[in-house]
Amino acid sequence: MNLNKTVLGIELGSTRIKAVLIDEKHLPIASGDFEWENQLVDGIWTYSMEAVHTGLQACFARLKADVKARFGTELTTVGAIGVSAMMHGYLPFDRNGKQLAEFRTWRNTITGEAAEKLTALFGFNIPQRWSIAHLYQAMLNGEAHVKDIAFLTTLAGYIHWQLTGEKVMGVGEASGMFPIDSSTCDYDETMLKKFYDLTGLALRSILPKVLPAGACGGTLTETGARFLDPGGTLQAGIPVAPCEGDAGTGMTATNSVRVRTGNVSAGTSDFAMIVADHPLGIHREIDMVTTPDGLPVAMVHCNNCTSDINAWVHLFAEFAWLLDVDIKRDQLFTLLFQIALKGAPDCGGLLSYNYFSGEGVTDLDEGRPVFARTPNAKLTLANFMRTHLLSALATLKIGMDILTGTEQVQIDKLYGHGGFFKTPEVGQRMLSAAVGTPVSVMETAGEGGPYGMALLSAYMLWHEEGESLPDYLDNKVFAGVKSSTLTATQEDIDGFNAFLARYQKALPLERLATELL
């Protein structure tokens, strides 16, 4: 095989680090992964840098082994590399490269005061997980290390720096650090000045340089090669794409980077990314980030999606075992998802809240899973399962209704990916009922973020002059990819709206549960 005609994408997700190698046809040909977990240390959700280093190296070693097993070839080089990771968070360093504080991940909710004050100052929603909220909160807290910060970055930005020596990142990743002006594909100058007037800190002096998709983010240094492949054979000099966040790679992997397209990722959590065609107002429920080529994206992020469904399926599995019925969990999921299609469109009066944790969209700091019904509600298995599927999408719909209703955002194409869509038709139909638009699922959507990062690296390496990222993806990556598209019936849509009205009216029940249970 010709290694120079391959491209490598790596992504550090919340529970797994994964590497995907693709060929010149943009098809995955090898992979490696490593499972890891965050830790709660002194009230801060974090990953140690030691875990970052060892996990990344273990992932790459498994990729090398996969290449060797499949092709009998030592992985010594590739055409290009790109790295992605969980967006946002806080990683500060001094002028000597010393880390000044433990990595603070997106999961932390410790920056409420800063986020509220910056939102008011900028006239732009600043979520708690954004890097600028973490920085300003550290200032408000009087943390001693702040005065020594010479470089502030994200996890992806840190790894890119280690690989290349360059303090740069893609515009999509940068949009989770500080607001972006899409007309310049750079940090918003007016907001930079407002922050300087507030704090006296010139942010450009400590933030990474912003690069659009297609630009080169540097080359792999000898030190970077040993960082990724210690004691190995990986060669220096490989072009490295600007690092991106998991939102940008998800958009790329589902071909959702063109205006008025979007994608919904639905698994343990769910979030929607819609490329907007006009400026939006300020909404606490809506984050504004960008595509990897700088277009404004409205994001609805929900902490809870399938965890409660998984718990109920496990209960049904226990019942099957009690009856000495041998059934695999995947089969059980399929059966229970399919029976939901036979339920009443409004779930027959049943109600559930799937909150394993707090939910920002509905302003809850904690969660308690709750199932409730009135005495005359129709408790059937079909209604029960449909209730949990609609509950998994309810908070997402609340945010989406702001986009499509209040803000009149148009959606021409919406792609779904994640475990919620694994059973054919069911997840698509429920999401289509929630958003009132057709939903498509592509056969490659399961490859996820590292595949999206590999595609961005391929775009940097192989795009023609003047060829935009949307055109490259449409014409060279996804032109022959199969997809299925479903549209909910009006009865399904009306049923979801009736369920959501009941859901929102009874939200005090969920809030009371967090207080009493």
In DSSP notation, 343-372 reads: S-TTGGGEEEE--SS-BTTTTBSS---EEE
Residue with tokens 């630009």: 215
Q: Given 242, 265, 296, which residue is the final one in a domain?
A: 242
Distance (Å) of CA 322 to CA 103, 160, 315, 334, 362? 46, 52, 11, 20, 38
CA distance 96 to 79: 32
Q: Is 357 found in the same domain as 233? A: no
CA distance 404 to 399: 9
CA distance 9 to 451: 6
402 is a domain residue = yes
CA distance 210 to 356: 36
Domain that holds residue 354: 255-451+468-517
248 is a domain residue = no
Q: At 232, list the tokens.
A: 């190995």
Q: Is 19 found in the same domain as 159? A: yes
Q: Is 314 found in the same domain as 436? A: yes
Cβ atoms of residues 452 and 396 within 8 Å: no
Q: Is 297 found in the same domain as 236? A: no
| CATH, residue 431 | 3.30.420.40
Residues written for the chain = 517
**HSE-up of 261 (CA within 13 Å, CB side)?**
18
DSSP helix/strand/coil, 433: helix
456 is a domain residue = no
Q: Is 228 found in the same domain as 375? A: no
290 is a domain residue = yes
22 is a domain residue = yes
Nearest to 195 by CA among 186, 204, 184: 204
Q: Is 278 found in the same domain as 403? A: yes
Q: Is 392 found in the same domain as 502? A: yes
Phi, psi for residue 271 in degrees, rounded to 5 = -150, 150
* pLDDT on residue 506: 97
Which residue pairs, CB below 8 angstroms and at least 24 apart, start in 342-345?
342/382, 343/380, 343/382, 343/383, 343/384, 343/385, 343/386, 343/387, 344/378, 344/382, 344/383, 344/386, 344/495, 345/433, 345/491, 345/492, 345/494, 345/495, 345/496, 345/498
Q: Packing angle between helix 426-435 and helix 490-505, nearest 10 degrees? A: 70
28 is a domain residue = yes
Q: Is 403 found in the same domain as 360? A: yes
CA distance 367 to 357: 4
458 is a domain residue = no
Q: Is 347 found in the same domain as 227? A: no
Cβ atoms of residues 195 and 140 within 8 Å: no
* pLDDT on residue 311: 95
pLDDT tens string 266-281: 887 888 999 998 889 9
Nearest to 159 by CA among 12, 8, 15: 12
Q: Given 242, 270, 291, which residue is the final one in a domain?
A: 242
393 is a domain residue = yes
Ramachandran class of 417: left when φ > 0, alpha when ψ lies in -120 to 50, beta otherwise: beta
* pLDDT on residue 446: 57
Cβ atoms of residues 220 and 160 within 8 Å: no
Q: Is 201 found in the same domain as 123? A: yes
* pLDDT on residue 448: 76
Evaluated on CA atoms 156, 161, 167, 168, the torsion sign reads negative
CA distance 510 to 364: 9
Q: How many domains does the chain have?
A: 2
* pLDDT on residue 65: 97
Q: Is 436 found in the same domain as 361? A: yes
Nearest to 439 by CA among 275, 299, 262: 262
Nearest to 9 by CA among 68, 63, 73: 63
Q: Give the DSSP H/E element, type plus range, for residue 306.
A: none
Q: Packing angle between helix 329-340 and helix 426-435, nearest 10 degrees? A: 40
152 DSSP β-pair partners? 92
Angle at 275 between CA 13 and CA 450, to 5 degrees: 25
Low-confidence ranges of the chain (pLDDT < 70): 444-447
Cβ atoms of residues 97 and 114 within 8 Å: no
Q: Given 221, 242, 263, which residue is the final one in a domain?
A: 242
Q: Is 225 found in the same domain as 126? A: yes
Nearest to 84 by CA among 160, 147, 195, 198: 160
Pairing of strands 180-181, 244-245: unpaired
